Amino acid sequence: MLALPLRAAPLVVPADHALQFAEQQLTATVSEVNDPTRFPRSTLSDGSWRIEDSGAWTSGFFPGCLWLMFQRTSGSTWRTWASSWTAQMEGEKNDTSSHDVGFKIFCSFGNGYRLTFDPAYRDVVIAGARSLATRYSPIVGCTRSWNNRHFPVIIDNIMNLEILFWAARHGGDPAWYDMAVSHALKTRQNHVRADGSTYHLVDYDPNTGAVLGKETVQGYSTESTWARGQAWAVYGFTMTYRETGDARFLDTARQVADYFIDHLPTDHVPYWDFEAPNIPNEKKDSSAAAIAASGLLELSTLVTDGASRTRYREAAFQVLESLCSPAYLAEGTTSSGILLHGVGNKPANTEVDVSLIYGDYYFIEALLRYVTLATDVAPALEGYLLEPPLPNPFDSGMHVGFQVPRACHVEVSIVDVRGAGIRTLARGEYSPGRYGVTWNGARRDGTPAPSGTYFCVFRAGSFHQTRKIRLIR
Ligand code: GLY
């Protein structure tokens, strides 16, 4: 299937202005917090940051914001600040008390490694993934989110599969990949409703894996749809498809994205719950909008038909345009944050109508993705053989097909489970078209690679997709 060529993206989002404002707010936050052992979480009534220590689930987002600013500017000051706050969270790699170790470590150390290739950062990410993996039950087929109830799994947890996927191909245990796939399949089965909406929490029997109950903690009611939970699902299933190429995850990503888009109010920013009882007199949650916008932008690069690509991209543009407007951008207000109008936990009446550090983090990520998309390419891998069937034996080679919608730099490489390069299949400037390369199971020097797990990594611009390969000789 050949995708329609992309039309040039209309630059409708004032991303540069919003990113400049983000730089300004984060610089001021560094001065306000002034201590890398303290982590901003949400704003208080006077607009200043409520601070927590590194144990909070939100701690990784501030260093994550600083890393994203380093990505944008290459400025050494951003790198220094990001490194300082990141270093102070290292102890969190050993946190086995909840799934949040993924948020904490991947947003801080994960971004640090992505942008600096410092091997010490990689080791911390692997340790964090190892901690998360201790929460995996082969009976339930999921990592456990919290320690109450029987075996609760919240929709948010799908976000933390990314650290397992990543670590499995950078020197961690390749079994973490299978755990992540299993968790995502269970989440698809039990959290996602037929109409594409989601439950917040599914409680499993740890002895049998049976579903004991479904409920919400941060949403309005069991059968309603908590907006941020839906946003986590949009982002998380999209990421899971990027990491696996399993079409079931693309189907689910589309389903939850369609629900999100189709239930947005006219300003494209959701209420804190899609079925909150007093809509339109309910609070909006800008964090849900930011998370979903980032996920939708990635989804638009993974679908292969032009109409879907346009739908998801333009939905994301509309959300971002609204978030960049004076209605949501904190410019000219007393807030130390970047986005106004986030909701942490409405039922508990905490962090209602405030700036949230994770809303700011995904907003910046979405803006950077937007800028890249508007000026870069949206590639798609296709024709790739996935398990099952395994792309083996290797006598005739394994074919990797990809398409390039706009002229760009492309790299297709095979890496081992330590992340070390085994073979580069393609590298260079590609003009628009459809291409295929073959891996015959050999290393760079022509000698045969041994049986084992490998990953094919496809990069174009800042976008990438990976596929697991099992080579059996
Ligand atoms: N992961 C917690 C929240 O989204 O509020």
Distance between first and last Cα of the chain = 31
Q: How far is the CA of 156 from the centre of ligand 1 (A)?
A: 6
Q: Per-residue pLDDT tens for 100-118?
A: 999 999 999 999 999 999 9
Q: What is the CATH number of the domain that holds 450?
A: 2.60.40.4070
Question: Would 59 be classed as within a structural domain?
Answer: yes
Question: Would 346 be classed as within a structural domain?
Answer: yes
Question: Would 2 be classed as within a structural domain?
Answer: no
What pLDDT band is residue 400 in, cutting at 50, 70 and 90? confident
Q: What is the domain extent for residue 277?
A: 8-382
Among 100, 203, 285, 376, the active-site one is: 100
Across all residues in the chain, what is the average pLDDT?
91
Using CA positions, which residue lies closest to atom 2 of ligand 1?
156
**Does residue 351's CB lie within 6 angstroms of at least one atom of ligand 1?**
no
Question: Would 363 be classed as within a structural domain?
Answer: yes
Q: How far is the CA of 154 from the centre of ligand 1 (A)?
A: 9
Question: Would 3 be classed as within a structural domain?
Answer: no
Same structural domain for residues 375 and 420? no
- Output the known binding site: 100, 156, 216, 228, 232
Q: Check if the beta carbon of residue 241 is closer than 8 Å to that of residue 255.
A: no
Same structural domain for residues 122 and 223? yes
Q: Per-residue pLDDT tens for 407-424?
A: 778 899 999 999 999 999
Q: Check if the beta carbon of residue 164 is closer than 8 Å to that of residue 239.
A: no
**Does residue 228's CB lie within 6 angstroms of at least one atom of ligand 1?**
yes
Q: How far is the CA of 382 from the centre of ligand 1 (A)?
A: 34
What pLDDT band is residue 389 in, cutting at 50, 70 and 90? very low
| Of 104, 156, 286, best ligand 1 pocket probe by most atoms within 8 Å of the beta carbon | 156
User: How many domains in the chain?
Assistant: 2
In the listed set 367, 382, 397, which residue is the last one of a domain according to the structure? 382
Q: How far is the CA of 440 from the centre of ligand 1 (A)?
A: 45
Reduced to 3 states, what is the DSSP secondary structure of residue 241?
helix
Q: Is the pLDDT of residue 381 over 80?
A: no
Same structural domain for residues 293 and 249? yes
Same structural domain for residues 361 and 466? no
Q: Check if the beta carbon of residue 141 is closer than 8 Å to that of residue 209.
A: yes
Closest atom of ligand 1 relative to the 228 alpha carbon: 4
Is the whole model's pTM more than 0.75, yes or no?
A: yes
Question: Would 255 be classed as within a structural domain?
Answer: yes
Same structural domain for residues 330 and 354? yes
Closest atom of ligand 1 relative to the 229 alpha carbon: 4
Same structural domain for residues 256 and 313? yes
Using CA positions, which residue lies closest to atom 5 of ligand 1?
344
Question: Would 1 be classed as within a structural domain?
Answer: no
In the listed set 358, 382, 406, which residue is the last one of a domain according to the structure? 382
Q: Per-residue pLDDT tens for 428-472?
A: 998 888 888 888 889 999 998 888 888 888 887 667 788 888 787
Active site residue 195: no
**Does residue 156's CB lie within 6 angstroms of at least one atom of ligand 1?**
yes
Tokens 């200043």 belong to residue: 48
Same structural domain for residues 107 and 86? yes
Same structural domain for residues 316 and 454? no
Among 16, 35, 53, 156, the active-site one is: 156
Q: How far is the CA of 14 from the centre of ligand 1 (A)?
A: 28
DSSP state of 448: B
Q: Per-residue pLDDT tens for 261-312?
A: 999 999 999 999 999 999 999 999 999 999 999 999 999 988 878 899 889 9
Least confident of 160-169, 229-238, 383-392: 383-392
Would you give the distance in Å from CA 459 to the centre of its chain?
17
- Please state, in angstroms and as integers, the Cα–Cα distance from residue 158 to each residue in 51, 248, 256, 344, 413, following that order: 26, 15, 13, 18, 27
**Mean pLDDT in residue range 127-131:** 98
Question: Would 364 be classed as within a structural domain?
Answer: yes
Active site residue 445: no
Closest atom of ligand 1 relative to the 344 alpha carbon: 5
In the listed set 338, 353, 382, which residue is the last one of a domain according to the structure? 382
Same structural domain for residues 339 and 373? yes
Same structural domain for residues 421 and 350? no
**Does residue 285's CB lie within 6 angstroms of at least one atom of ligand 1?**
no
Predicted pLDDT of residue 375:
62
Same structural domain for residues 220 and 172? yes
Closest atom of ligand 1 relative to the 232 alpha carbon: 4
Q: How far is the CA of 57 from the centre of ligand 1 (A)?
A: 8
Predicted pLDDT of residue 126:
98
Same structural domain for residues 318 and 462? no
Q: What is the CATH number of the domain that holds 34?
A: 1.50.10.10
What pLDDT band is residue 42 in, cutting at 50, 70 and 90? very high
- Output the known binding site for substrate: 100, 156, 216, 228, 232
In this structure, what is the dihedral angle of CA atoms 258, 261, 263, 264, given to the nearest 10 degrees? 170
Predicted pLDDT of residue 461:
67
